[in-house]
Amino acid sequence: MVPEKFIDRLEDVVGSDDLIYNSRVTEVYSTDASPYSGRAVAVVRPENPEEVSEILKLANHHSVPVVPRGAGSGTSGGAVPRNAVVIDMKKMDGIEVYQDDMIVFSEAGAILHDIKRSLCKFDLFIPPEPGSLRIATAGGFVANNGSGKRGLKYGSVRNFVAGINAVLPDGKIVRITYRTHRSPGINHQVFVGSEGALGVITGIYLRAIPIPEEKKTYLIPLKNTTEIEKSLKRILKVLPDAVEYIDSKSSSALGYGEEEFIAVEVFGDDRYAERVIDSLGGISIESQEEKRFWERRETLGAEIAKKGSRVYAGEDFAVPFSRLSDFIEKIKDVERETGSEIFVYGHLDTCNLHPAIVSESFEDSMRAAGRLADTALKMGATVGEHGVALRWEFLKGLDVYRRLKYCLDQKNILNPGKFGL
Amino acid sequence: MLGSEEYTKSREIWSLNCAKCGKCIQICPTYKVTRWEHLSPRGRLILSPYVEDDRELVKSIFSCLTCGICEQVCPSNVEITEIIEKKRGEYAKQTILPERHVRLLNNMVEKGNPYGDDIETMEIDGEVDVIYYPGCTSLAREREIFESTVKILKSMGVSFGIEFMYCCGSTSLRIGGDLSYAERNYRRLREVVERTKAKTLLVNCPGCYRTVKKDYEKFGGLGVRIMHITEFLSENAEMLRLRKDGIRVSFHDSCHLARHMGIVKEPRRVLSMVSEIVEPEQHGMESFCCGGGGGVRVSYRELTREVRKVRIEQFRRTNADVVVTSCPYCYRNLKNGADGLIIKDLTSFIAERLEE
């Protein structure tokens, strides 16, 4: 239990309108888009870094664990609290575009799609785009070092983080404010991918680039999974902007027939890319059809869940390129053995696959997820972009992380229980 | 098993095939104005296994506008509105209700309508082609809608009669009350249909429309074509003699008429006969609620005011001369927060433009 005095002091900081305590509704803040749920003892909504600082000073003083929360769209349980106070960041959602610097400053609670729309007014964009674009917050995306599509050519969001404002577990506010397209040191990068365990990100300076004038999407059918590596090698040589894999089940869910395929996005008028894609039997999709495809691809995971009242678990594995078709075949073995249905799709340019499990019960889905994880680990795979959080069996170099965590958060109040600590 | 076991206790929400993706959150009007997740569809679904006397929990369940916009974007096809309405029924059975909801349900018991008024009853004598059922709001609160409808029907030369004995039961159903009021009116209307040999039953209110056309199916249907006034006018447009004045009109789609019942083109067809239509950024099936639906205006007025403010701003940006709606309840609510905008019900707007 948290001391009543602590709750009273929290109320002094944010006011009673932005504090929930002793109510069933805290259960909403005890889960995210993962299958996991924990327990939020209270929910608090700061409006500025100073309030975040006051909350953390109090938490540190009373040794109360806290978990920062964005949209709760993570699938690894990063925002799931274990008897902790949840700091809901969604009221801090300011966005400011520095057009001439091609930089956008976003508060942690801003929705990625709102950032995209703000940049679009100045013909700018940030290439990494997750499927949760319309849901996820900037803070959550950066804290998970997310990527989504376009990973090979542009990398993850880490490559676009120019500076960060954060509050350390003892309440110290740090402002690492670069508005440049190059920035020195690892200071701000420490928070990227830290999953809310090293500091609470309050604002991010992100690099943007000009929106290309032309953009094309091609769909390349695959006759069988074994030819995927051969085709991918040829596709990657043209350095396309995004390459996505859709297996036959997902294809059917999207309304594109029963055949598995590769979707390729190419910016600009690239004749060479077009010739290579053409030789692989690719066809282009345009205007509304293209828009529809990418929009439905965004929420493919949830579309899959509508197949009956079944339990959905969205997985995330970065696989060595050499094991790609092997891994997809193994997923089918797991599907046969466990009786769960598994849809496979993902970002082929980074070999980051998202098997989506649906089964009749929570236990069945979790059993299939466990089998997939065992298989992935044996193949040298790791988590891709959904965060480590409660799936810490994938984390290597835990000792380095443990030392870093101890330096910044000696009382282990920030998002404890994640990364196995 | 992945992760720590304490994180993986079974959850009832999964039986609803909600993937918890969160796509419904940003689009929800009550989330938009509060940014509390427990006042969003995903939050409400997570809380749907519970019936407890907890102020915030009760607010979560009873502050849903039942506008249905979440169902437009839900990739998993979760029928959120239906789940919420069923859950409200369970709360009502245990008399765990917001205070003013209790008063509203008492009004239903004592006076047979949500306003608690003595509303005049009307009965049809003889046979007619069309039964006009005005509903409580048009009769007891926004009388001009009733009078305009009568004026329009007369100008069209329609053979009609006016029937109003009981409330349709919509409000009760939407906030968790029982089916008895709906069933009572169903029996009454079925008797009137048989007696008058009418082919059409005409309504003004999208709440009545949804209830009579959809919910009365549970009792066996009425055996008559049920039409909203906008449908009727659109289908019989050639019988309307209207003055065109080129005014710029923006149309507010009521949630019940558009999303619940799919009526979107018809009011626009009628309005385009006399005016130029300018659409707000959210319209048709993606329309934004006026803030008054689902009983929210009764007990959570601050939410109604904030949602309405968002909607009014959407209309202000259209620079339309008039905002027209075809729902007496939306009309009443928008008018109360119009902040300088002119709000009209479609029937009044059309009646004013009838050629003498």
Residue A21's DSSP bridge partners are A42
Residue B303 has pLDDT above 80, yes or no: yes
The vertex-A215 CA angle with A214 and A219, nearest 5°, equals 150
* Euclidean distance between CA atoms B302 and A227, whole angstroms: 60
Q: Which of A24, A299, A304 sits opposite B52 (nearest CB)?
A: A24
What are the two backbone dihedrals, phi and then psi, of residue A148, each rounded to the nearest 5 degrees? 75, -140
Domain boundary among A210, A244, A264: A210
Number of H helices, E strands in chain A: 13, 19
Q: What is the pLDDT of residue A388?
A: 83
Question: What CATH number corresponds to the domain at position A36?
Answer: 3.30.43.10
Q: Sign of dihedral through CA atoms A197, A110, A206, A242?
A: positive
Instruction: Tell if the CB–CB gap between B47 and A391 is shorter than 8 Å.
Output: no
A108 interaction partners in chain B (CB closer than 8 Å): none
* A177 and A229 together in one domain: no
Q: Is residue A390 part of a domain?
A: no
The model's confidence at residue B2, banded by pLDDT at 50, 70 and 90, is very low
Instruction: Tell if the CB–CB gap between B37 and A88 is shorter than 8 Å.
Output: yes
Q: Which of A71, A299, A370 sits opposite B75 (nearest CB)?
A: A299
Instruction: Tell if the CB–CB gap between B21 and A77 is shorter than 8 Å.
Output: no
The model's confidence at residue A305, banded by pLDDT at 50, 70 and 90, is low
Kindly state the tokens that stand for A152: 């090979």
CA of B23, closest CA in chain A: separation in Å?
6
B16 interaction partners in chain A (CB closer than 8 Å): 309
Kindly state the tokens that stand for B247: 């005014």
* A368 and A222 together in one domain: yes
Question: B330 or B15, which is more confident?
Answer: B330
B36-88 pLDDT, tens digit each: 999 999 999 999 999 999 999 999 999 999 999 999 988 878 899 999 999 99
The model's confidence at residue A308, banded by pLDDT at 50, 70 and 90, is low
Residues 6+ apart with CB under 8 A from A188: A161, A162, A163, A164, A176, A178
Q: How many CB atoms lie within 10 A of CB A37?
A: 22
A70-122 pLDDT, tens digit each: 999 998 899 999 999 999 999 999 999 999 999 999 999 999 999 999 999 99
Task: Note the Cα A139 to chain centre separation in Å.
Answer: 10
CA of B34, closest CA in chain A: separation in Å?
9
Q: Which of B8, B55, B76 sits opposite A35 (nearest CB)?
A: B8
Q: How many domains, chain A?
A: 3
Q: What is the pLDDT of residue B16?
A: 66
* A30 and A65 together in one domain: yes
B57 interaction partners in chain A (CB closer than 8 Å): 23-25
Residues 6+ apart with CB under 8 A from A173: A49, A50, A52, A53, A165, A166, A167, A202
Q: How far apart are the first and last CA of chain A?
A: 20
Identify the domain containing residue A59 by its residue range.
Answer: 4-90+409-420
Q: Is residue A385 part of a domain?
A: no
Nearest CA in chain B to A26: B38
Q: Is residue A230 part of a domain?
A: yes
Q: Where in chain B is the domain with CATH 3.40.50.1860?
A: 130-235, 242-351
Nearest CA in chain A to B75: A303
Residue B11 has pLDDT above 60, yes or no: no
Burial call B167-193: b when 16+ CB within 10 Å, e when fewer: bbbbbbbbbbbeeebbebbbeebbebb
H or E segment to which residue A245 belongs: strand A242-246
Task: Evaluate whether B60 touches B279 at the Cβ level (below 8 Å).
Answer: no
Question: What CATH number corresponds to the domain at position A356?
Answer: 3.40.462.40
B270-299 pLDDT, tens digit each: 999 999 999 999 999 999 999 999 999 999
Q: What is the pLDDT of residue B320?
A: 98
Please identify among residues 66-95 of chain B the ones whose CB lies closer than 8 Å to any CB of chain A: 74-77
Q: What is the pLDDT of residue B48?
A: 92
CATH superfamily assigned to domain B10-96: Alpha-helical ferredoxin (1.10.1060.10)
B2 interaction partners in chain A (CB closer than 8 Å): 366, 369-370, 373, 390-391, 393
Q: What is the pLDDT of residue B6?
A: 44
Instruction: Tell if the CB–CB gap between A362 and B14 is shorter than 8 Å.
Output: yes
* A40 and A115 together in one domain: no
B223 burial type by CB count under 10 A (0-12 exposed, 13-18 middle, 19+ buried) = exposed
Q: Which of A23, A312, A393 sits opposite B54 (nearest CB)?
A: A23
A304 interaction partners in chain B (CB closer than 8 Å): 19
CA of A391, closest CA in chain B: separation in Å?
6
User: Read out DSSP for B170-190?
Assistant: HHHHHTT--THHHHHHHHHHH
* A186 and A240 together in one domain: no
CATH no. of B130-235: 3.40.50.1860
User: What residue spans of A74-227 are helical by DSSP H?
Assistant: 112-120, 138-143, 151-154
Q: Sign of dihedral through CA atoms A349, A353, A354, A360?
A: positive
Residue B18 has pLDDT above 90, yes or no: no
Instruction: Tell if the CB–CB gap between A314 and B19 is shorter than 8 Å.
Output: yes
For this complex, say whether ipTM is above 0.90: yes
Please identify among residues 27-66 of chain B the ones whose CB lies closer than 8 Å to any CB of chain A: 35, 37-38, 42-43, 46-47, 50, 52, 54-57, 60
Task: Evaluate whether A52 touches A202 at the Cβ level (below 8 Å).
Answer: yes
* A101 and A76 together in one domain: no
Nearest CA in chain B to A79: B7
Residue B8 has pLDDT above 60, yes or no: no
* A108 and A80 together in one domain: no
Question: Average model confidence (pLDDT) for chain A?
Answer: 92
* Euclidean distance between CA atoms B227 and A27, whole angstroms: 43
Q: How far is CA B324 from CA B209, B266, B332, in A?
A: 18, 13, 12
| Residue closest to B148 by CA, chosen among B355, B354, B336 | B354
Nearest CA in chain B to A312: B19
* A415 and A286 together in one domain: no
Q: What is the pLDDT of residue A361?
A: 74
Residues 6+ apart with CB under 8 A from A236: A152, A243, A349
* Euclidean distance between CA atoms B166 and B206, whole angstroms: 16
Residue B249's DSSP bridge partners are B277, B322
CA of B70, closest CA in chain A: separation in Å?
13
Residue A69's DSSP bridge partners are A88
A317 interaction partners in chain B (CB closer than 8 Å): none
A38-49 pLDDT, tens digit each: 999 999 999 999
B204-259 pLDDT, tens digit each: 999 999 999 999 999 998 999 999 999 999 999 999 999 998 899 999 999 999 99
User: What residue spans of B216-300 are helical by DSSP H?
Assistant: 229-235, 255, 265-271, 296-299
Q: Is residue A292 part of a domain?
A: yes
Question: Average model confidence (pLDDT) for chain B?
Answer: 93
* Euclidean distance between CA atoms A114 and A133, whole angstroms: 9
Residue A355 has pLDDT above 80, yes or no: yes
Instruction: Tell if the CB–CB gap between B10 and A373 is shorter than 8 Å.
Output: no
B130-149 pLDDT, tens digit each: 999 999 999 999 999 999 99
* A338 and A221 together in one domain: yes
Residue A227 has pLDDT above 80, yes or no: yes
CATH no. of B242-351: 3.40.50.1860
Question: How many beta-carbon pairs under 8 angstroms link A with B?
Answer: 135
Q: Sign of dihedral through CA atoms A260, A265, A266, A268?
A: positive
* A293 and A201 together in one domain: no
Q: What is the pLDDT of residue B3?
A: 37
A253 interaction partners in chain B (CB closer than 8 Å): none
Instruction: Tell if the CB–CB gap between A135 and B25 is shorter than 8 Å.
Output: yes
Q: Where in chain B is the domain with CATH 1.10.1060.10?
A: 10-96
Q: Which of A33, A77, A308 sits opposite B22 (nearest CB)?
A: A33
* A332 and A233 together in one domain: yes
Q: Which of B3, B21, B52 sits opposite A302 (nearest CB)?
A: B21
Q: Which of B11, B16, B60 sits opposite A25 (nearest CB)?
A: B60
B239 burial type by CB count under 10 A (0-12 exposed, 13-18 middle, 19+ buried) = middle
| Residue closest to A296 by CA, chosen among A101, A410, A134, A94 | A134
* A62 and A35 together in one domain: yes
CA of B137, closest CA in chain A: separation in Å?
34
* Euclidean distance between CA atoms B324 and A168, whole angstroms: 53
* Euclidean distance between CA atoms B168 and A228, whole angstroms: 61
Q: What is the pLDDT of residue A419?
A: 82
| Residue closest to A313 by CA, chosen among A236, A390, A242 | A390
Q: Is residue A121 part of a domain?
A: yes
Task: Note the Cα A48 to chain centre separation in Å.
Answer: 24
Domain boundary among A195, A210, A225: A210
pTM of the predicted structure, to 2 decimals? 0.93
A111-125 pLDDT, tens digit each: 999 999 999 999 999
CA of A365, closest CA in chain B: separation in Å?
10
Task: Note the Cα A61 to chain centre separation in Å.
Answer: 32
Q: Is residue A329 part of a domain?
A: yes
The vertex-B66 CA angle with B287 and A310, nearest 5°, equals 105
